[in-house]
Structure 1
Amino acid sequence: MEIQNEQYDDQKNSFEVQKEGTGKDKSLDEWLPISSKRSGKWWYSTFHNVTAMVGAGVLSLPYAMAQLGWGPGVVILVLSWVITLFTLWQMVEMHEMVPGKRFDRYHELGQHAFGEKLGLWIVVPQQLICEIGVDIVYMVTGGTSLQKFHDTVRPGKHIKLTYFIMIFASCHFVLAFLPNFNSITIISLAAAVMSLSYSTIAWTATIAKGVQQNVQYGYPATTTAGTVFDFMGALGNVAFAYAGHNVALEIQATIPSTPDRPSKIPMWRGVLLAYMVVAICYFPVALIGYWMFGNSVSANILISLNKPAWLIAMANMFVVIHVIGSYQIFAMPVYDMIETTLVKKFHFKPCFRLRFFSRTTYVALTMFIGMTFPFFGSLLGFFGGFAFAPTTYYLPCIMWLALYKPKKFSLSWILNWFCIIVGILLTILAPIGALRQIIIEASTYTFYS
């Protein structure tokens, strides 16, 4: 009888410990930025995805076209749009592939596909490189656009780019304390509207400027090696332009889900509308920009435009507003990872003080790196190939093959392997060309100039 009582007490204690742990996990989930609130609407998906994708990448597409040429450039632009829409559909479908469970974070889906430890090692480094990388690039983009706005409004008075990056970063020290995705909804909506606005300004102002005298459409490099390396770097610029997959599951996590209406229905509706906006922004800017300026187009199309001054100044300010929202979209999953690690691994108490130090440190770090290495076009190419190609073009396909196991040589099997091959080629080739360009630019660069 005593033995039975002891066993009963052990089971009771075990249950209470388990219940306490579950309660703590639920309390933590309600505090973390990704899982704290599930009240998103389908249109939240639209402007979060537009904000995530249409950013610095669209401004570099005419420059990428100059390195790729008409034929390959158009094919790669259209193919990337189709492939990334397909892989994003896969991620939306896999979010709730297990009944009663939601994969709220990219690495959680990776763990389900590859195992607890291997999934973390495969997904987390790539996702962090993507999200931190894009925030660094957006620091440079915001600073560059602020500088262009200043130079347009007050020509002749030069101020270092470093100072403009610091000015741009200052607002993020405040916005970093918005707790979750839903709290940045208004900022994301404003950013999405700005992206459509400055993209429209970019291609309409380019048409107004007209085809430049002595415009040339040949490859700008004078050597075969230079042409090949430029071509490879441009592939990364295109890959960077389709960057929304890294936060797709996190965006879907904010949408409520029921058995009758799973979250994939409103999420997919929002994604389709977002991709229509992406097409409206990307294709006119890329094709018209290259058509008017040829191979002399700048790495940032707005830099190539100088008149009318008021319109270019306005477009650059729209870019600033947009990348403010984009920065926060990509920073939110990073905040989530940092805060989860600090609470679960290092046993910090979830509170405002923890959030203050972790998030301000992150913003300061991206600001410092952006000020140190402000190579706009080359950074896009390097991060686009090295980090965005895996997480956007083929990692969802590998997960799909591992989890759904489609029949060999079926349509699904063929499509997934095609995307995997294209993505691996991008991952190998793009960083090589971009790294060469970074080295060339760094050889004549003065730090913090």
Structure 2
Amino acid sequence: MVEMHEMVEGKRFDRYHELAQEAFGERLGLWIVVPQQLIVEVGVDIVYMVTGGKSLKRFYELVSCAPDATGCKHIRQSYWILVFASIHFVLAQLPNFNSISGISLSAAVMSLSYSTIAWTTAIPNAGGPDVSYSYPHSPSAANTVFKVFNALGMIAFAYAGHNVVLEIQATIPSSPSKPSKGPMWKGVVVAYMVVAICYFPVALIGYWAFGNDTSYDNILQHIGTPHWLIAAANLMLVVHVIGSYQIYAMPVFDMLETLLVKKLHLPPGVCLRLIARTVYVAFTAFVAITIPFFGNLLGFFGGFALAPTTYFLPCIIWLAVYKPKRFSFSWLANWISIVLGVLLMIAATIGGFRNLVMDASTYKFYQ
């Protein structure tokens, strides 16, 4: 997608749907990409709402309910999601990607910081007498398969930055002598290096320390000591998802305001921005409070929404635009990615949806 941003001389594709329109035609390209991209961005923001609320709740419990603390009072997770949402009612009024660059940088630094705290504090717990590395008992083989499917969706969710890459690349100056793909490629490489540095130590050391008892969606919910350090890590996680929420929300704000101006002929300006963006934040908060199943939301949205737009739709566009020679390396690599991406989408969606249904069957909504 970085390479395709300026594949037509003198033109930049600043939005995902513009790239699809070049490949599939004005109308079809719009209908292929926009619904999927909206599902991705809204779904990710819902997940971040749940994450932010859970982390704020955990921070409060570690600070107020520590062994030497007094006056601990239980506050429901729904209220913490509302607290997290209130931050975004304010930040959502920032006009564009450039205005949130500082927030985005803070989010990246916090991601590296809290993940480092997670794996370093897990090391002292390694090798305990109760740690087991055997596969946890499952009621049936079908249940095991569905868990694997859901895990694939969670992995897909973790590596799904493609959905906003064109919007980010659009903010980089470009000229024939210095095209934007140069610095963007460097940014992408650095970004995935940071992702690897964050995720792999947490996964490997977390499993070494806790075995099959590891918290599968957020290891910080599993580690309790030292209280002050884990509390700080949860607060860092909150800062991280604040920035991430805004990154995925900005394209939605752009599409929403464009639709209201062009179709409903509403006047653009501060009033339109205030109402439209406030309604969007309120909607994501409402859904997050209604279905706060963090781990299974990751799996479901990872398969249903992120897999198509991240793992095989860019490959289809590449084949449609560049038309590489049949059975060449480029042709084979893209077709392999398409087949694997489709299988991932089907498996992860089934696994995530099944687990959501299982959670909902025992959950008391708004309690």
Q: TM-score range by the shorter chain?
A: over 0.9
Higher Cα Rg, which structure: 1
Post-superposition CA distance 1:86-123 (Å, at most 9, x none): xxxxx000000001111000011011111111111111
Runs of 4+ in structure 1 deviating by more than 3 angstroms, as ranges, are none
Asked if residue 390 in structure 1 is aligned to residue 300 in structure 2, the reply is: no
State the Cα distance separating 1:297 from its structure 2 match: 1.4
Superposition pairs of residues 36-55 of structure 1, within 5 angstroms: none
User: Does 2:28 align with 1:118?
Assistant: yes
Q: Structure 1: which amino acid aligns with 2:38?
A: L
Contact 1:233 1:433 survives alignment (8 Å):
yes
CA distance in structure 2 between the aligned counterparts of 1:290 and 1:110, rounded to whole angstroms: 41
Aligned partner (choices 49, 52, 73) of residue 139 of structure 1 = 49
**Distance in 2 of aligned mates of 1:267 and 1:204:** 32
Alignment-derived partner of residue 57 in structure 1 = none
Q: Deviations over 1:302-324 (max 9, x none)?
A: 11101111111010000001100
Cross-structure match for 1:151? 61
1:295 has 2:212 as partner: yes
Judge which range, 360-369 or 341-350, deviates more: 341-350
Alpha-carbon distance, 1:212 to partner: 3.7
What secondary structure is seen at the aligned counterpart in 1 of 2:336? helix
Is 1:198 paired with 2:114?
A: yes
For residue 261 of structure 1, give the secondary structure of its aligned residue in structure 2. coil
Q: Give the alignment partner of residue 184 of structure 2, picking from 261, 267, 288.
A: 267
SS at 2:309's partner residue? helix
The question of whether the paired residues in 2 share the 8 Å contact of 1:219 and 1:227 is answered with: no
Give a deviation string over 1:284-303, Cα, whole Å, max 9, x none. 11121122222211131111
Quote the residue 2:365 is aligned against: 447
CA RMSD of aligned residues (A): 1.0
Shift of 1:243: 1.8
Q: Structure 2 residue aligned with 1:257, among 166, 174, 188?
A: 174
AA of the residue aligned to 1:254:
T
What are the Cα deviations for residues 415-441 of structure 1, in whole angstroms up to 9, with x where unaligned? 111111111111000011111111111
Contact (CA 8 Å) 1:239, 1:385: kept in 2 or not? yes
Classify the secondary structure of the residue corresponding to 2:338: helix
1:168 is aligned to 84
- Tell whether 2:119 aligns with 1:187: no
Residue 368 of structure 1: aligned partner:
286
Secondary structure of the residue that 1:218 maps to in structure 2?
A: coil
Q: Residue 215 of structure 1: CA displacement?
A: 2.2
Alignment of 1:21-100 (within 5 A): 91-100=1-10
Q: Which whole-Å CA distance do the structure 1 matches of 2:134 and 2:277 have between them?
A: 46
**Structure 1 residue 174 displacement after superposition:** 0.4
Secondary structure in 2 matching 1:443: helix
Contact (CA 8 Å) 1:191, 1:326: kept in 2 or not?
yes
Q: Tell me the distance in 1 between the aligned counterparts of 2:203 and 2:311.
A: 21
Letter of the 1:182 partner, please give it. Answer: N
Distance 1:442 1:213, change over 3 A: farther
Residue 263 of structure 2: aligned partner:
345
1-side partners of 2:207 and 2:366: how far apart? 31
Other structure's SS at 1:95 match: helix
Number of residue pairs matched by the alignment: 359
The letter of the residue matching 1:222 is P
* 1:406 match: 324
Match of 1:431 in 2: 349
Q: Give the superposition deviation at 1:249.
A: 0.1
Does the aligned pair in 2 maintain the 1:236–1:384 contact within 8 Å? yes
Out of 314, 328, 331, the residue aligned to residue 249 of structure 2 is 331
Q: 2:265 is paired with a residue of what secondary structure?
A: coil
Corresponding residue number in structure 2 for 1:6: none
Q: CA deviation at 1:239?
A: 0.3
* CA–CA separation in structure 2 for the residues paired with 1:115 and 1:262: 25
Describe the SS at the equivalent of 1:433.
helix
| Distance in 2 separating the partners of 1:337 and 1:205 | 43
What corresponds to 2:68 in structure 1?
Answer: none
Structure 1 counterpart SS, 2:362? coil
Bigger shift: residues 140-149 or 255-264 = 255-264
Partner AA of 2:131 in structure 1: V
Q: Structure 2 length as normaliser, TM-score?
A: 0.96
